[in-house]
């Protein structure tokens, strides 16, 4: 068994079961918020006898919010855990030369041990000289033992050596337990598979990592990733004001 997977089964899962526990009252309120609908807020729109509403299409709900998935009853099977990881990178140099895609494909295959897929553009942008259907990036999906091996290398080797990285902000997440983070091109060269053959990769690019978990809230997903020693930063980075001396 992978070291990180064994750590989750023996230690982290018990702690997450305690941290993510909800009493019946809190769990009921959480489910009510998930299944709540968002009707129009104006009284005129809800009034059936309003003459301005007759022979008109129904008004759409404000905000365009969709109902979120409702979690099942709490048990040992609902403990948050990693489901899969998506790693993708965009290579803007591939717009002019498709051979630049080879560097990103080889790098992702080295650090994940899985073969990545090429990403094609869906729309065209005239200012970037980009047409629909052009290859502009690559993506790879990892599950099981390769997933835990990648997280182990990311936490133990890459993050401690990464400069000017302030951690993952607490605001990250989509509300359903999925958290994404981005890394600069310098982080790709810190993986041992790439660092040992650095001359074989003529182009280094940044990449994004998306953690898909079985959690239903971002709080549970952050607790899971923090158990794997992924840092979260509460404070936002302050921008330095540079004044030009006349």
Task: Calculate ∠ Cα 198-200-202, nearest 5°.
Answer: 90
Read off the pLDDT of residues 155-191 as tens digits, 9 standing for 90 and up: 999 999 888 788 888 888 888 889 999 998 889 989 9
Question: Would you say 168 and 233 are in contact if contact means Cβ atoms under 8 Å apart?
Answer: yes
Which residue, chain included where needed, has tokens 């070291």?
3
Task: Calculate ∠ Cα 179-185-187, nearest 5°.
Answer: 65
Read off the pLDDT of residues 101-121 as tens digits, 9 standing for 90 and up: 888 899 999 999 899 999 998
Does pLDDT of 204 surpass 90?
no
Identify the band that residue 214 occupies on the pLDDT scale cut at 50, 70 and 90.
very high
| pLDDT computed for residue 156 by the predictor | 92
Residue-averaged pLDDT of the chain: 83
Q: Report CA 161 to chain centroid distance, whole Å.
A: 22
Q: Residues near 128 by Cβ (< 8 Å), separated by ≥ 6?
A: 92, 95
Q: Which of 85, 88, 86, 113 is nearest to 101 (CA)?
A: 88
Q: Which sequence spans correspond to the domains of the chain?
A: 3-62, 79-233
Q: Which of 175, 212, 187 is nearest to 84 (CA)?
A: 212
| pLDDT computed for residue 236 by the predictor | 57
| Whole-structure pTM value | 0.79
Q: What's the full length of the chain, in residues?
A: 246
- For residues 58-87, give the mean pLDDT: 78
User: What does DSSP assign to residue 130?
Assistant: B
More confident residue, 142 or 65: 142
Q: Which of 48, 66, 68 is nearest to 58 (CA)?
A: 48
Does pLDDT of 129 surpass 80?
yes
Distance between CA atoms of residues 19 and 221, nearest Å = 11
Pick one of 3.30.1440.10, 3.40.50.1100, 1.20.1250.40, 3.40.50.2300 as the CATH number of 79-233: 3.30.1440.10
Which residue, chain included where needed, has tokens 């090429």?
118
| pLDDT computed for residue 243 by the predictor | 46
| pLDDT computed for residue 245 by the predictor | 41
DSSP string computed for 154-195: IIIIIHHH-SS---EETT-S-SSSEEEEEE-HHHHTTSHHHH
Distance between CA atoms of residues 24 and 42, nearest Å = 34
- For residues 22-41, give the mean pLDDT: 77
Percent of the chain with pLDDT over 70: 84
Distance between CA atoms of residues 56 and 43, nearest Å = 16
């Amino acid at each position: 068994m992978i070291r990180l997977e064994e750590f989750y089964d023996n230690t982290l899962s018990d702690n997450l079961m305690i941290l993510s526990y909800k009493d019946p009252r809190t769990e009921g309120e959480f489910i009510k918020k998930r299944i709540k609908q968002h009707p129009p807020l104006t009284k005129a729109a809800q009034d059936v006898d309003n003459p301005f509403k007759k022979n008109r299409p129904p008004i759409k709900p404000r905000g365009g919010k969709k109902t979120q998935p409702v979690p099942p009853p709490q048990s040992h099977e609902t403990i948050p855990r990693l489901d899969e990881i998506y790693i993708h990178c965009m290579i803007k140099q591939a717009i002019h030369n498709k051979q630049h895609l080879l560097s990103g494909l080889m790098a992702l295959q080295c650090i994940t041990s899985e073969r990545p897929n090429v990403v094609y553009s869906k729309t065209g942008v005239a200012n970037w000289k980009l047409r629909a259907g052009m290859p502009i990036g690559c993506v790879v999906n990892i599950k099981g033992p390769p997933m835990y091996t990648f997280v182990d290398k990311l936490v133990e080797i890459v993050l401690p050596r990464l400069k000017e990285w302030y951690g993952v902000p607490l605001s990250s997440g989509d509300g359903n337990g999925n958290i994404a983070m981005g890394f600069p091109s310098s982080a790709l060269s810190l993986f041992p598979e790439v660092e040992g053959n650095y001359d074989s990769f003529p182009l280094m690019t940044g990449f994004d990592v998306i953690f898909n978990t079985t959690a239903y809230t971002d709080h549970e997903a952050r607790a899971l990733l923090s158990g794997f020693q992924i840092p979260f930063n509460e404070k936002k980075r302050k921008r330095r004001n540079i004044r030009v001396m006349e």
